[in-house]
Every structure is written in structure tokens, then in C-alpha cells.
């Protein structure tokens, strides 16, 4: 998972409600933040807020932020500087703009944000956005008096959110679990998202059904520790993620199921077995290892060794031989020597990744590793990152090239840059390009892969529309 990506927010339909105000949401960070942003728009709809893509015209601007690395946090403050000017320009035209900071930076640095940027009206953490209508109403009344809400409420926000207003499209996110109790020594997430908690099974299945009714063919189950899922089942008693996936696979027309992000320690037998047994469960898994050195893994408090990880990979591949893998890596963790880094390269060579994210260690305030002596010099971090990325990029290219000559079902979900081009995802999460009409969007169609590139594959759409995840044609529809 790339904690520094920005993602566009789908524009919500507002139904029959008169939309008199506009809200602009900018999102950084993980998929869970993207999901939260769509839900914030849902919560605000009854107040008459419709989404806009133009921040300068917005009555309310929400920055949904990420705290994972220093760079991610810096971006928020530079964006706030730009917004201040927009707010002032709007005021000279007699208008008004509320500025809100949400997400993990808000949770971690709430008071500091208000000190550094006193023109911010609202600061609220990831667990409080179900209260947005109330917060916004208060902010509009108490002009000049900023509102700060970084509670971890006892109630779950999911019990208070309205039904989703806007279809997310062919590939939808669904949060099933939040927070983290693992406390890896480099990571802010346990502090910004709070304790680990799972949503009840019924709530998730109902939301998945609505997403499918709204046109989703693929649902990605989200959680900071998604495979630690232990939500309450319909008859009481906790369900694991494997059981939840099997139940979701019963939903007609839900062709693809994915989940992210997993921790190696929570890959239990049932979940691994599900990969061999549930055809809708896609053969791709993001399973972060962070390092290949046991002493670094210990110092990171990961509670698994490199060997434990490799055994899990072997079991996954036994259950599902074509399983493609992805990971996150941190280089230059405090105390990392050349020998530790070499162990990471060995692990990468042993696994063979289809894709991966890698980062230089970034000391985060309040985390144990940031206080450790033996911080690695920046130049060494740079060299190691370059070497690791070279290897990972070569593996990704090799994987993409190995797909040439194969036919695979692709879920097309976006128009390409060029007219007549459509973009989608293979079962292995590769971006796939093809020439095809826009009516293919939302469909799973067979692609004969001709080219494998650094970050994508390309090919020709072949006869037939494949409507099930196991690649069985439901209708022969002729060449499209
Ligand atoms: N729950 C997810 C983590 C989300 S953060 C998981 O366990 O994988 C996404 C990734 O950011 C992490 O996997 C890690 O590789 C990276 N990351 C987290 N904290 C970091 C830090 N302080 N410096 C550099 N990278 C970090
Ligand atoms: Fe962060 Fe570790 Fe929890 Fe992932 S498992 S969110 S890296 S503390
Ligand atoms: Fe970033 Fe928070 Fe996600 S710190 S990666 S937005 S959980």
C-alpha cells in the first residue's frame, strides 16, 4: 500500500435533494482514507452539500490527510497555504469557505495544525466523521472559533453513517476492519486510527449487496489489519476473514473479491484455504514483510521471522499456484547494516514479487524507533532504496512480460487517455490497456495479452464476455 498516493474522489449523485452548498475533498494516504472520503460526502449530503472538483468555489474544503511518513505530512501544510489564499479571495467576493483537516495528521497533530494554520475551522480524526453535520453546523455558527475533535468515541461511526449515496463504480472499497494493535515500532497507525475493531458481518454483507446493486463487480475489503478481522456473525460469535469472504462470494454478480492490507501473523489456515477454494477471491495478495533480516524484524516488533513469511508464501502458492504477491519494504530502519539489507534482497529474490512499494525509513514523532540510536545516514538509505527498487522493478517487468501470450479476464473500469482506449485490472492487479468501446466499462472481458511493460500489460479483447470469476463464459457475445 502506498501511503502517499492521492486518489480522486468519485463525484456523488445527490438524488432529488436540492444542493445549495459545495464540498471539495482532497485525499492522501491509504485506500481506507479514500473510502472515508466517499463516506464523508455521504454524511454531508443531507445538509445540502454536493461534491465539487473546484476547491476555489467550495463552501467547505476537507483535506483527508496521511501521517505515515514525513513527506505525507508536509504536503498538508503546503496545501493549507494555498487554501488560505483561496479563502481570502472568496471573502473579498463576499463568500465564505470553511477549511477542515481530517484523517491521520488531524488525529496526530490536531492542536499544532490550529496553531500553525489559525484559518483552519475544523480538525477531526478518522473515528469522528459521522459527527460532521454537527461539527459543520457548529463551525458555521461559531465563526472564528475553531473546532477540534480527535476523540476515539466508544460508539462505532459505522453505526451512524447513512447508506452510501454515490455508486463507487465497477471496483468498490468496503472497510471491514479498522485500527491496529500491533505497534510496529516505526508506525503511527495504532496512534492515529486507534485500537483494532471489526464491523459486524451483517452490516458488511448489506453494504456489499448495495455496492453490487450500484454496479460494482469487484469489492476490495479494507482494513489496516484486514486479516485480523473478527466481526460478529449473524448468530453471535466472531467470524474470521476467510468465513466472511466465503459468505460474500454467495452474492450474485459479485465477480471479484480482494482484501488489503494483511499482516503475515494473521494469515490463518482458513484464509489461506479460501484462496484455493473461492474462485471470486483474486490470485493477488499484498502481504507486507518490511525487511528480510530477522534482527531488524525483531527490532520492528513485527513478531514474525523471514522464514515464517516464506512459509506463508509457500502455503499460499500451494493453495493457489498462480498467486501473485506484493509487499511493502522499509530500508534504512535504525540499526540496519549491509548484511541486513542483503537479507532483504535475498528474500525478494526468493519470493519473486509481481509488484511492491518501498520506502526510506522516516522517523515519526512518538514512535519507539524514532528515538533509537543508530539511525542510518540519509545517503545509505538512498543507495539501498535504489538497489531494492531496481530489483523490484525488474521483477515486476519480468512478471508483466511473463503474461504475454496468455488470455485473462480483465475488469475494465476506466476510459484511457486516448479515445477508444479502455483501462482495467487483470486478476493479478496489473493495469491492462486495450482498444475497446466505452460500453466495456464495468464488464469483465477476456484480454489476449500481447505486451508486458514496466507498470502495465496491453492486449486485444477477444470473443466472449466473461461474467464469472473462474473465467467461464456465461454468454458468447461475438467479437466486441
Ligand atoms: N497496516 C499496514 C501498514 C500501513 S502503512 C501494514 O501493516 O502493512 C503502509 C506502509 O508504509 C507500511 O507497510 C510500511 O512499509 C510503510 N511505513 C509505515 N511507517 C513508515 C515509516 N515510519 N517510514 C517509512 N515507511 C513507513
Ligand atoms: Fe502499522 Fe504495523 Fe499496524 Fe501495519 S501492522 S498498521 S505497519 S503498526
Ligand atoms: Fe496514512 Fe492514516 Fe492510512 S497514516 S496510510 S492515512 S491509516
* Residue 480: band (very low, low, confident or very high) from pLDDT cuts 50, 70, 90: very low
Residue 7 pLDDT = 38
pLDDT tens, residue by residue, 234-282: 999 899 999 999 999 999 999 999 999 999 999 999 999 999 999 999 9
Identify the burial level of 189 via C-beta atoms within 10 angstroms of its C-beta, where 0-12 means exposed, 13-18 middle and 19 or more buried: buried
The C-alpha cell of 17 is what? Answer: 435533494
Total number of residues shown for the chain: 480
Question: Pick the residue with more confidence: 188 or 72?
Answer: 188
User: Do 54 and 24 form a contact (C-beta atoms < 8 A)?
Assistant: yes
Cell 460474500, residue located: 248
- The Å distance, Cα 105 to ligand 3 centre, comes to 9
Residue range 424-445: average pLDDT? Answer: 95
pLDDT tens, residue by residue, 192-236: 999 999 999 999 999 999 999 999 999 999 999 999 999 999 999
Q: What is the pTM of this model?
A: 0.92
- Domain around 38: 21-149
Q: What span, in angstroms and rounded, lies between the C-alpha atoms of 349 and 422?
A: 33
Shared domain for 57 and 140, answered yes or no, is: yes
Nearest CA to ligand 2 atom 2: 184
Q: What span, in angstroms and rounded, lies between the C-alpha atoms of 330 and 359?
A: 5
User: Do 36 and 129 form a contact (C-beta atoms < 8 A)?
Assistant: yes
Q: Is 104 in the pocket of ligand 3 (CB under 6 A)?
A: yes
User: Do 382 and 389 form a contact (C-beta atoms < 8 A)?
Assistant: no
Q: Of 148, 254, 154, 169, whose CA–CA distance to 204 is shortest?
A: 254
Instruction: Tell me the pLDDT of the chain averaged across its residues.
Output: 91
- Of 402, 424, 453, at which residue does a domain stop? 402
Residues in contact with 409: Cβ distance below 8 Å, sequence separation at least 6, in sequence order: 426, 427, 444, 445, 446, 447, 466, 469, 471
Whether 189 maps to a domain, the answer reads: yes
Shared domain for 141 and 172, answered yes or no, is: no
Q: Of 302, 266, 39, whose CA–CA distance to 183 is shortest?
A: 302
- The reply to whether omega before 261 is within 30° of 0 (cis) is yes
- Of 371, 402, 433, at which residue does a domain stop? 402
Q: Is 34 in the pocket of ligand 3 (CB under 6 A)?
A: no
Secondary structure element (H or E) that encloses residue 409, with its range = strand 407-415
The CATH number covering residue 86 comes to 3.40.50.12160
- The Å distance, Cα 29 to ligand 3 centre, comes to 5
- The Å distance, Cα 70 to ligand 1 centre, comes to 12
Shared domain for 136 and 269, answered yes or no, is: no
Shared domain for 337 and 226, answered yes or no, is: yes
pLDDT tens, residue by residue, 17-45: 445 899 999 999 999 999 999 999 999 99
Q: Of 341, 348, 470, whose CA–CA distance to 398 is shortest?
A: 348
Residues in contact with 147: Cβ distance below 8 Å, sequence separation at least 6, in sequence order: 121, 122, 123, 124, 135, 138, 139
Nearest CA to ligand 3 atom 7: 189
Q: Residue 332 pLDDT > 60, yes or no?
A: yes
Residues in contact with 17: Cβ distance below 8 Å, sequence separation at least 6, in sequence order: 45, 46, 48
Question: Pick the residue with more confidence: 405 or 12?
Answer: 405
Ligand 3 atom with the shortest distance to the CA of 33:
6
Q: What is the dihedral of CA 331, 391, 351, 286, to 10 degrees?
A: 60
- The Å distance, Cα 474 to ligand 2 centre, comes to 41
Number of structural domains the chain divides into: 3
Ligand 2 atom with the shortest distance to the CA of 224:
6
The CATH number covering residue 298 comes to 3.80.30.20
Residue range 335-342: average pLDDT? Answer: 98
Q: Residue 124 pLDDT > 70, yes or no?
A: yes
pLDDT tens, residue by residue, 288-307: 999 999 999 999 999 999 99
Q: What span, in angstroms and rounded, lies between the C-alpha atoms of 100 and 113?
A: 11
pLDDT tens, residue by residue, 234-245: 999 899 999 999
Shared domain for 185 and 330, answered yes or no, is: yes
Whether 13 maps to a domain, the answer reads: no
The C-alpha cell of 43 is what? Answer: 454524511
Whether 394 maps to a domain, the answer reads: yes
- The Å distance, Cα 358 to ligand 1 centre, comes to 9
Residue 464 pLDDT = 55
Whether 291 maps to a domain, the answer reads: yes
CA angle, corner 193, sides to 191 and 199, nearest 5? Answer: 140
- Of 119, 149, 179, at which residue does a domain stop? 149
Residue 477 pLDDT = 32
Q: Residue 11 pLDDT > 70, yes or no?
A: no
Amino acid at each position: 500500500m502506498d501511503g502517499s498516493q492521492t486518489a480522486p474522489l468519485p463525484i456523488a449523485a445527490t438524488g432529488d435533494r436540492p444542493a445549495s452548498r459545495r464540498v471539495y475533498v482532497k485525499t492522501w494516504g491509504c485506500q481506507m482514507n479514500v473510502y472515508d472520503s466517499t463516506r464523508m460526502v455521504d454524511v454531508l449530503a443531507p445538509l445540502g452539500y454536493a461534491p465539487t472538483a473546484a476547491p476555489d468555489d467550495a463552501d467547505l474544503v476537507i483535506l483527508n490527510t496521511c501521517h505515515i511518513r514525513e513527506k505525507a505530512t508536509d504536503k498538508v501544510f503546503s496545501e493549507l497555504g494555498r487554501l488560505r489564499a483561496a479563502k481570502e479571495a472568496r471573502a473579498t467576493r463576499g463568500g465564505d469557505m470553511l477549511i477542515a483537516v481530517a484523517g491521520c495528521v488531524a488525529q496526530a497533530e490536531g492542536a499544532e495544525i490550529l496553531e500553525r494554520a489559525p484559518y483552519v475551522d475544523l480538525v477531526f480524526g478518522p473515528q469522528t466523521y459521522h459527527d460532521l453535520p454537527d461539527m459543520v453546523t457548529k463551525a458555521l455558527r461559531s465563526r472564528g472559533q475553531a473546532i477540534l475533535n480527535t476523540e476515539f468515541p466508544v460508539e462505532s461511526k459505522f453505526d451512524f453513517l447513512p447508506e452510501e449515496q454515490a455508486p463507487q463504480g465497477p471496483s468498490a472499497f468496503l472497510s471491514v476492519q479498522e485500527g491496529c494493535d500491533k505497534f510496529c515500532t516505526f508506525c503511527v497507525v495504532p496512534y492515529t486510527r486507534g485500537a483494532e475493531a471489526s464491523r459486524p458481518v451483517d452490516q458488511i454483507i448489506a453494504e456489499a449487496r448495495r455496492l453490487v446493486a450500484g454496479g460494482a463487480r469487484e469489492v476490495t475489503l479494507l482494513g489496516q489489519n484486514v486479516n485480523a478481522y473478527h466481526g460478529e456473525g449473524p448468530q453471535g460469535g466472531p467470524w474470521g476473514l476467510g468465513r466472511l469472504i466465503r459468505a460474500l462470494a454467495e452474492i450474485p454478480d459479485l465477480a471479484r473479491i480482494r482484501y488489503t492490507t494483511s499482516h503475515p501473523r494473521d494469515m490463518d489456515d482458513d484464509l489461506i484455504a479460501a484462496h484455493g477454494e473461492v474462485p471470486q477471491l483474486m490470485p493477488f495478495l499484498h502481504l507486507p514483510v518490511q525487511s528480510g533480516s530477522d534482527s531488524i524484524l525483531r527490532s520492528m516488533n513485527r513478531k514474525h521471522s523471514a522464514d515464517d513469511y516464506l512459509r506463508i508464501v509457500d502455503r499460499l502458492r500451494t493453495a493457489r499456484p498462480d498467486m501473485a504477491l506484493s509487499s511493502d519494504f522499509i530500508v534504512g530502519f535504525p540499526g540496519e547494516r549491509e548484511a541486513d539489507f542483503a537479507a532483504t534482497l535475498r528474500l525478494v529474490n526468493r519470493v519473486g514479487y509481481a509488484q511492491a512499494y518501498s520506502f526510506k525509513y522516516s522517523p515519526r514523532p512518538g514512535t519507539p524507533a524514532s528515538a533509537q540510536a543508530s539511525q542510518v545516514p540519509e545517503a545509505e538509505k538512498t543507495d539501498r532504496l535504489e538497489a531494492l527498487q531496481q530489483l523490484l522493478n525488474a521483477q515486476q517487468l519480468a512478471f508483466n512480460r511473463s503474461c504475454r501470450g496468455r488470455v485473462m479476464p480483465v475488469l475494465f473500469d476506466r476510459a484511457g487517455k486516448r479515445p477508444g482506449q479502455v483501462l482495467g485490472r487483470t486478476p493479478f492487479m496489473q493495469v491492462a490497456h486495450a482498444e475497446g468501446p466505452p460500453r466495456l466499462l464495468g464488464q469483465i472481458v477476456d484480454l489476449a495479452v500481447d505486451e508486458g511493460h514496466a507498470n502495465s500489460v496491453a492486449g486485444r479483447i477477444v470473443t466472449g464476455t466473461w461474467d464469472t470469476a473462474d473465467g467461464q463464459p456465461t454468454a458468447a457475445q461475438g467479437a466486441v
